[in-house]
Amino acid sequence: MPASRPAEFVTALLLAGGEGRRMSGADKGWLELDGVPLAERAAARLRPQAGALLISANRNLERYAALGQVVTDAAEFAGGGPLAGLEAGLSACDGDWLVSAPCDLPFLPDDLAARLMAPLLRGEAPLSVARCDGHPHPVCMAVCADLLPSLRAYLRGGGRKVREWQAQAGAAMVDFDDAPQAFRNLNTPDDLAAASRR
């Protein structure tokens, strides 16, 4: 799957449904970095890497709809965090594969999907997770759509931990040590200010 061509059989999912607790409850996707909302920056990175772009959001739905098809957390899994957003994305995914990333990573690598998909296409794992300098970035993952029943069962059992479910599903790690800045998370006002200064 060459990184230079859109992977038409892969669906991308931008996770923007968080509560923004460390941003005083703000919708992080619409916080601006140098005048451009974080969601727009992340979507622009993801869109060329997939055949379709879904946006997991639970507020400002009309605004997010300008970026892609919006999916919302199922009532059954309300409060389920990123895994609830992933469940919504997998439920709406038309193809066999989904690649997800959060909206507060505006510097995502342009080969994120290709590299995460590699172990899945080789049949080594049904799920892969980005890792950089030894640190996993669990919400940056590629998932086989066949894992949807497993994810639903985990959520219905009260599970909410992304890394726990990934371990149960047999996740492979994909190293991005060559792109440390790509995984700079903008979680707080200080993070946003520092990124703007750079």
Please name the residues in contact with 93: beta carbons below 8 A apart, sequence gap of 6 or more: 11, 13, 54, 145
34 annotated ligand-binding residue: no
Task: Report d(CA 6, CA 4) in Å as an integer.
Answer: 7
84 annotated ligand-binding residue: no
73 annotated ligand-binding residue: yes
28 annotated ligand-binding residue: yes
191 annotated ligand-binding residue: no
Q: What is the DSSP string of 107-164?
A: T--TTHHHHHHHHHHTTS-SEEEEEETTEEEEEEEEEEGGGHHHHHHHHHTT---HHH
Q: List residues forming the annotated binding site for Mg(2+).
A: 104
Q: List residues forming the annotated binding site.
A: 15-17, 28, 73, 104
Q: List residues forming the annotated binding site for GTP.
A: 15-17, 28, 73, 104
